[in-house]
Amino acid sequence: MNDYLNSLFSLRGKVAVVIGGTGELCGAIAVGLAQAGAEVVLVGRDPVKAQVKLDRIKTEGGIGRFVPADVSTRASLEEVCRTVVDELGQIDILVNGAGVNSATPFLEIGEDEFDRIMLVNFKSVFLSCQVFGSHMVSKGSGSIINIGSASGLTPLSRVFTYSASKGAVHNLSKNLAREWAASGVRVNILVPGFFPAEQNRKVLTPDRIESIMGHTPMRRFGESRELVGAALLLASEAGSFITGHELVVDGGYASMTI
């Protein structure tokens, strides 16, 4: 049984690029991919945060490295892609998880704030899928995991621009799944429910936490490690016929109304 499961979920010999891998949620995913055998490349801006994740990867017996980049620019992403392909030979898995949030009331949202959130949350995913997706299509295989949001399924109050940006990520991912299925490239959306992370802690006021708990059958927040299994399914041969799917990990939030 162990040999079967190992072969089904193994990422040995694979190279995974994790954009946002210096953060809490994608950092946990990066560690999980490394534990499954992938060589993991963390992409972000903060080498100090990256080192924390790399130390964890090393402790767990995995292999990882950090490549600094501004993921909101095509040139920077192209440089990352060239570097990884030149040094490691291929890219098999891409996780797009950079994100920012804001609770500004709708009528007070300025254009600069709107543009910044859309740039980080959506345009960076668009650019990354073009850059790394081109490589995957050319080699005839690959798995792209775009990090969506519960707000990409049904808009959430107070986070107007964030919800719009994640809705766009969901739509883009499904379009690419359709476009690239025949080329051997799968594109899926990993949809976390409420996981306290850097970009949403500031909007988790006591009344909002109470509202979330009242709408979550499991009555708790998710823990970052609880995204790893879903990511492994989408990244590995275990998910070889899964594409264009919104894989929800939310403690039952989406299944409940009142």
**32-56: burial string, b at 16+ Cβ within 10 Å, e else:** bbbbbbbbbbbbbeeeebbeebbeb
The structure tokens listed for 72 are 């909101």
Compute the distance between CA of residue 85 and CA of residue 18 in angstroms, rounded to an integer: 14
Decide: 182 and 216 in contact? Cβ < 8 Å. Answer: no
The number of helix segments (H) and strand segments (E) in the chain equals 10, 7
3-state SS, residue 254: helix
* Selected catalytic residue, list 66, 122, 160, 162: 162
Backbone angles phi, psi at 146, to 5 degrees: -95, 130
The structure tokens listed for 234 are 């989408």
Catalytic residue flag (residue 4):
no
Q: Which residues are catalytic?
A: 162
